């Protein structure tokens, strides 16, 4: 069956989707995107994802004439069409807006371009997001964060992230946890970072050096509303990660996944931690609340 995508007002088979090479998304990486998980046909945190997309468009001064409901309808249509096409019952919905194609390659924002709106669905690889019964763990390396100063924008300019992710893969690990020159942890190359110390869940505060992750937001809210577990949003030093009782990565594709090795060394016992085991079912119970 065919994977059905959306491009500028039209649903079509993914392999037939075409954009201009003059699209500024292609030339400059000038766009924003979202990845929204849909488990068994149900989207997780659709509205917060669309809000972040709209916020990103405001930051880039891209103005497609689309309201919340248009984005919601697009997501629902992509889920429906691609679940019917049996791509998978668990999908990642990718939404993408770039400034559009211009006649010339000029660095400043041109007036009056028609933004490119693209969406497609892909099979979500099995992860801790799918069900509380799935128990995956990750190994990571650490690296100095060499990306730019606007990581809070979910930009399609992902080269910095891609190079850090590749660094992790090349070292035989799953991911790279990044820290700035002062040793403060920012995030991973494609996920947010949490640690547990003496029963408290700790994560770096939101600022321009990390993405305001939707899974991060959900996890913090679930912890505060549905558990007595203390939570701190505060700067985290790399050294604290190495001596943590538990470390987790969160994202829309991974859910909340324990990290069991950092730079080849085990995190505590080297197994998924006790607090994660306790919290994971609570996360799953509430994952569709957002």
Contact map string, positions 128 to 167, toward ligand PDD, x by CB under 6 A: ---------------------------------x------
In the complex, what is the shortest distance from the CB of residue 212 to ligand PDD, in angstroms, rounded to a whole number?
8
Length of the chain measured in residues:
290
Residue listed under structure tokens 């408290």:
200
In the complex, what is the shortest distance from the CB of residue 125 to ligand PDD, in angstroms, rounded to a whole number?
11
Q: For ligand PDD, which residue of 30, 145, 174, 187 counts as binding (CB under 6 A)? A: 187
**Is 204 or 273 the residue whose CB approaches ligand PDD more closely?**
204
**Is 101 or 276 the residue whose CB approaches ligand PDD more closely?**
276
In the complex, what is the shortest distance from the CB of residue 175 to ligand PDD, in angstroms, rounded to a whole number?
10
Binding to ligand PDD in span 243-282, by CB under 6 A: 250-253
Q: Is 154 noted as a catalytic residue in this protein?
A: yes
Coil vs helix vs strand at 11: strand
> Which of these segments, 53-61, 186-194, 200-208, 281-289, binds ligand PDD (CB under 6 A)?
186-194
Q: Which run of H or E residues covers position 88?
A: none
Q: Which run of H or E residues covers position 282?
A: helix 274-286
In the complex, what is the shortest distance from the CB of residue 35 to ligand PDD, in angstroms, rounded to a whole number?
4
- What sign has the CA pseudo-torsion 199, 205, 287, 131? negative
Q: Which run of H or E residues covers position 187?
A: strand 185-188
* Whether the Cβ atoms of residue 215 and residue 185 lie closer than 8 Å to each other: no
In the complex, what is the shortest distance from the CB of residue 214 to ligand PDD, in angstroms, rounded to a whole number?
4
- Compute the distance between CA of residue 40 and CA of residue 88 in angstroms, rounded to an integer: 9
- Compute the distance between CA of residue 195 and CA of residue 249 in angstroms, rounded to an integer: 9
**Is 66 or 94 the residue whose CB approaches ligand PDD more closely?**
94
Residue listed under structure tokens 């096409």:
85
Q: For ligand PDD, which residue of 35, 75, 117, 176 counts as binding (CB under 6 A)? A: 35
Q: For ligand PDD, which residue of 98, 116, 155, 192 counts as binding (CB under 6 A)? A: 192
- Compute the distance between CA of residue 47 and CA of residue 59 in angstroms, rounded to an integer: 18
* Whether the Cβ atoms of residue 39 and residue 129 lie closer than 8 Å to each other: yes
In the complex, what is the shortest distance from the CB of residue 182 to ligand PDD, in angstroms, rounded to a whole number?
19
Instruction: Report the helix count and the strand count for the chain, using DSSP H and E.
Output: 7, 15
* Whether the Cβ atoms of residue 129 and residue 254 lie closer than 8 Å to each other: yes
> Which of these segments, 63-71, 190-198, 222-230, 231-239, binds ligand PDD (CB under 6 A)?
190-198
Query: Rounded to the nearest 5°, which phi and psi values hold at 277?
Result: -60, -35
Residue listed under structure tokens 């891609």:
162
Contact map string, positions 194 to 223, toward ligand PDD, x by CB under 6 A: -----------------x-xxxx-------
How many amino acids of this chain bind ligand PDD (CB under 6 A)?
15
The catalytic position among 154, 197, 254, 287 is: 154
Binding site for ligand PDD (CB under 6 A): 35, 161, 187, 190-192, 211, 213-216, 250-253
Q: Tell me the catalytic residues.
A: 154
């Amino acid at each position: 069956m065919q994977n059905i995508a959306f491009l500028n007002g039209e649903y079509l088979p993914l392999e037939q989707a075409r954009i201009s090479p003059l699209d500024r998304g292609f030339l400059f990486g000038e766009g924003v995107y979202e990845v929204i998980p849909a488990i068994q046909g149900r989207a997780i945190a659709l509205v917060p994802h669309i809000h972040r997309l709209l916020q990103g468009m405001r930051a880039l001064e891209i103005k497609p004439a689309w309201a919340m409901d248009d984005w919601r309808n697009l997501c629902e249509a992509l889920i429906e069409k691609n679940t019917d096409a049996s791509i998978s019952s668990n999908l990642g919905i990718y939404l993408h807006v770039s400034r559009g194609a211009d006649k010339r390659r000029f660095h400043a924002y041109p007036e009056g371009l028609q933004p490119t709106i693209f969406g497609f669905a892909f099979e979500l690889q099995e992860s801790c997001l799918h069900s509380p019964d799935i128990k995956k763990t990750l190994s990571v390396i650490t690296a100095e964060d060499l990306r730019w100063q606007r990581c809070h924008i979910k930009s399609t300019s992902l080269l910095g992230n891609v190079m850090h992710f590749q660094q992790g893969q090349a070292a035989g690990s799953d991911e790279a946890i990044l820290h700035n020159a002062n040793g403060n942890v920012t995030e991973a190359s494609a996920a947010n970072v949490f640690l547990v110390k003496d029963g408290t869940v700790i994560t770096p505060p939101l600022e321009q050096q990390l993405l305001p992750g939707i899974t991060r937001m959900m996890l913090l809210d679930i912890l505060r509303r549905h558990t007595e577990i203390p939570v701190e949003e505060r700067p985290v030093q790399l050294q604290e990660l190495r001596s943590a009782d538990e470390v987790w990565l969160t994202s829309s594709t991974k859910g909340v996944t324990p990290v069991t090795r950092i730079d080849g060394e085990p995190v505590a016992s080297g197994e998924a931690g006790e607090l994660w085991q306790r919290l994971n079912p609570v996360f799953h119970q509430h994952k569709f609340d957002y």
